[in-house]
């Protein structure tokens, strides 16, 4: 009776493993629009295996016309000729010679990296040559245009007197900037740009909020002293203040209030772009986009097929070794293939991104599982399954530590490796206790 029960258990587990293998390697198909479609989540690939956008940024070499009054102060372009009698114009290079230093090139690269990091872009590459020429490689997806726009902001922030154009506050006093959404009435939402000033900026801002206010004279006439807030010389707001603000924080509503989540998202992204552009300082050098090109994945189907075949052959050889060497080799071999299938399913469902690093991590886990299964079968010291599992779990403690720490890294190269090790270790423990142990009939 007991033998029958055991056989039934083994057959059930074997069937379960075969189902896992079939689902993982073949897929689950469903008819959709007269086509059979695999309903399993697709694998996600990193830049190593997918399309990229190459953006070429060149240092601007052109000139701009600047206007100066009789005192030599820079002024806005005159609207008509009558205004221009005392105004002289001059062609000046956008980037002066003094600006084009190695230090400024490096600073530009660092600011661009900070901006991309702030958008949580896990994978990108920036190259910069000795002349400052920059090539940025970004993952190609729906957000790539947004990333490119973020790179193109100069990040020049100014609060100016609307009449005299005197700069009252600029980038040098910003300590932080971010975007947020807020609803004043619980229904309509709006995107806000929040700018925090440093100690000196806090005082300056407080003075601005005291000076730039609306006043009413004895006859009831209202006079407004207005400031303009500009980013890259584009005015984003003209305002005066109703009360003194001593918290050193400027809150600007960008866009209108909306109940539509899509509209709000658009406003929020634009606000985020502005916040990111001023948060890390103004670019010391002006760049222009020379060229943008989508470069398709370097992965070729024929190469992928060859790799699958090599993988399959290796698995067959390793399973054949188990079958030849051990009595229960076939069972354990099937269990190992089932483990690989289960691991690949977990990679699909956990949204892990496949990179070269994660493939290395997956191979390490699969080999470690194989080594463990070998130890279970050879078991010279007659130890129980759980003892061997505990022993191998202790051996793998450095791997667990690296898996957990790397998983929390911000860059895909690191966290994809961590993820592969983490999910691999987790599935190894669960799979061995629930499947392998019962398959080889161990207590």
Partner 1 sequence: MKDMNKLKVIVVAAVLIVAAIITVAVNPFKFNVNYSKNVRLEVYIEKDFEINDILSIVNSIYTNDDVIVRKAGALEKTASITLRDFTEEQNEKLISQLNEKYELKLTSEDIEIYYNSNVKGRDLIKPYIVATAIAGVLILAFFGVRYRKIGLAKSVGGTIAVVCLTQLLYTFLINIFGMYINEATIVVGITIGILCLMYLVATFEKLKAKE
Residue ranges binding partner 1 (CB under 8 A): 48, 56, 125-130, 133, 135, 291, 293-298, 300, 302, 356-357, 360-361, 364, 391, 394-399, 401-402, 405-406, 408-411, 413-414, 417-418
CB of 358 to partner 1, least distance (A): 9
CB of 106 to partner 1, least distance (A): 11
Find all residues with CB under 8 Å of 110, minimum gap 6, and list them.
280
CB of 343 to partner 1, least distance (A): 17
SS3 category, 128:
strand
Q: Round to whole Å and give the CA distance between 179 and 267.
A: 10
Q: State which residue, 86 or 125, has the beta carbon closest to partner 1.
A: 125
H helices present in 26-143, as ranges:
102-118
Q: Which residues of 5-42 are buried (b: 16+ CB within 10 A; e: fewer)?
A: eeeeeeeebbeebeebbeebeeeeeeeeeeeeeeebee
Q: State which residue, 278 or 403, has the beta carbon closest to partner 1.
A: 403
Q: State which residue, 405 or 433, has the beta carbon closest to partner 1.
A: 405
Q: State which residue, 246 or 297, has the beta carbon closest to partner 1.
A: 297
Cβ contact 167:159 at 8 Å:
yes
CB of 399 to partner 1, least distance (A): 5
Q: What is the largest CA-CA distance in the chain?
A: 111
Q: Round to whole Å and give the CA distance between 166 and 184.
A: 33
SS3 category, 250:
strand
Q: State which residue, 26 or 405, has the beta carbon closest to partner 1.
A: 405
CB of 353 to partner 1, least distance (A): 14
Q: State which residue, 272 or 428, has the beta carbon closest to partner 1.
A: 428
Cβ contact 118:281 at 8 Å:
no
Q: State which residue, 21 or 134, has the beta carbon closest to partner 1.
A: 134
CB of 122 to partner 1, least distance (A): 10
Find all residues with CB under 8 Å of 127, minimum gap 6, and list them.
134, 135, 136
Question: By C-alpha distance, which of 180, 199, 191 is closest to 237?
Answer: 191
CB of 308 to partner 1, least distance (A): 18
Question: By C-alpha distance, which of 352, 417, 300 is closest to 44?
Answer: 352
**Of all helices (H) and strands (E), which one includes residue 259?**
none
CB of 299 to partner 1, least distance (A): 9
Q: State which residue, 64 or 106, has the beta carbon closest to partner 1.
A: 106
Backbone angles phi, psi at 222, to 5 degrees: -95, 130
CB of 386 to partner 1, least distance (A): 16
Token digits of residue 269: 């992204």
Q: State which residue, 38 or 125, has the beta carbon closest to partner 1.
A: 125
Find all residues with CB under 8 Å of 144, minimum gap 6, and list them.
53, 138
């Amino acid at each position: 009776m007991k033998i029958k029960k055991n056989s039934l258990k083994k057959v059930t587990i074997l069937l379960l493993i075969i189902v896992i293998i079939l689902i993982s390697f073949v897929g689950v198909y469903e008819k959709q629009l007269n086509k059979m479609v695999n309903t399993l989540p697709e694998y996600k690939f990193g830049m190593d295996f997918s399309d990229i956008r190459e953006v070429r940024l060149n240092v601007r070499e052109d000139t701009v016309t600047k206007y100066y009054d009789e005192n030599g102060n820079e002024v806005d372009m005159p609207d008509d000729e009558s205004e221009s009698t005392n105004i002289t114009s001059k062609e000046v290079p956008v980037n002066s010679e003094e600006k084009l230093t190695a230090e400024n090139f490096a600073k530009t690269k660092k600011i661009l990296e900070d901006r991309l990091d702030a958008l949580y872009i896990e994978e990108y590459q920036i190259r910069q040559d000795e002349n400052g020429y920059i090539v940025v490689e970004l993952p190609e997806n729906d957000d790539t245009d947004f990333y490119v726009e973020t790179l193109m902001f100069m990040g020049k922030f100014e609060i100016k007197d609307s009449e005299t154009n005197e700069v009252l506050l600029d980038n040098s006093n910003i300590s932080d900037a971010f975007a947020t959404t807020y609803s004043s009435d619980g229904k309509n939402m709006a995107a806000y740009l929040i700018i925090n000033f440093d100690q000196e900026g806090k005082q300056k801002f407080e003075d601005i909020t005291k000076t730039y206010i609306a006043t009413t004279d004895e006859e009831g006439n209202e006079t407004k002293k207005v400031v303009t807030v500009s980013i890259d010389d584009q005015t984003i707001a003209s305002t005066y203040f109703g009360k003194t603000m001593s918290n050193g924080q400027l809150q600007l509503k960008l866009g209108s209030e909306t109940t539509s989540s899509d509209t709000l998202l658009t406003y929020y992204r634009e606000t985020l772009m502005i916040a990111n552009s001023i948060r890390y300082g103004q670019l010391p050098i002006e760049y222009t986009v020379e060229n943008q090109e989508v470069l398709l994945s370097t992965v070729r189907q024929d190469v992928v097929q060859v790799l699958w075949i090599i993988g399959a052959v290796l698995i067959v050889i390793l399973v054949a070794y188990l079958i030849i060497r051990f009595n229960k080799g076939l069972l354990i071999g099937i269990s190992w293939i089932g483990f690989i299938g289960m691991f690949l399913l977990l990679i699909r469902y956990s949204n892990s991104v496949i990179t070269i690093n994660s493939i290395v991590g997956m191979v390490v886990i699969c080999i470690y599982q194989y080594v463990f299964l070998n130890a279970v079968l050879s078991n010279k010291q007659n130890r129980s399954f759980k003892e061997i599992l505990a022993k191998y779990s202790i051996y793998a403690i450095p791997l667990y530590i690296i898996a957990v720490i790397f998983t929390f890294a911000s860059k895909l190269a690191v966290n994809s490796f961590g993820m592969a090790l983490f999910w691999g270790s987790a599935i190894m423990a669960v799979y061995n206790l629930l499947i392998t142990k019962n398959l080889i009939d161990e207590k």
